[in-house]
Structure 1
């Protein structure tokens, strides 16, 4: 719904990808896992934002 939330989610996803890549390059399994976890959390949050947007669209359509 909020553009700020979407930006934060994307930043978390990018950060997670970076952590995972650095973990891959350094054979640091902990960092790889943390990066994957960050990406999964960002995707989950983004899915929630998409549901909120869809609900708002439905509400707007019904009130017209």
Structure 2
């Protein structure tokens, strides 16, 4: 293989590695936001039940 071919293959490998890592980061960010929204929803429901029980008194 010539030096040019090695260089082209290296840059293709770098681009593929960057795409994979970017995809992984996007998946992690989406999972994190899903977890945050789930916790916020649980906190809202627990606050709603706490306020409804205090109103009953």
Tell me the TM-score normalised to structure 1 length.
0.58
Q: Indicate whether 1:38 and 2:36 are aligned.
A: no
When the two structures are aligned, how many residues end up with a matched partner? 39
Counterpart of 2:41 in structure 1 is 54
Higher normalized contact order (CA 8 Å, seq sep 6+, divided by chain length) = 1
1:4-61, Cα deviation, whole Å (9 max, x unpaired): xxxxxxxxxxxxxxxxxxxxxx741010000000000000010000000000000000
Moved over 4 A (4+): none
For 1:52 and 1:36, the matched residues in 2 are separated by: 25
Secondary structure in 1 aligned to 2:42?
helix
Specify every segment of 5 or more residues in structure 2 that has no aligned partner in the other structure, as ranges: 1-10, 52-57
Query: Max radius of gyration: which structure?
Result: 2
CA RMSD of aligned residues (A): 1.2
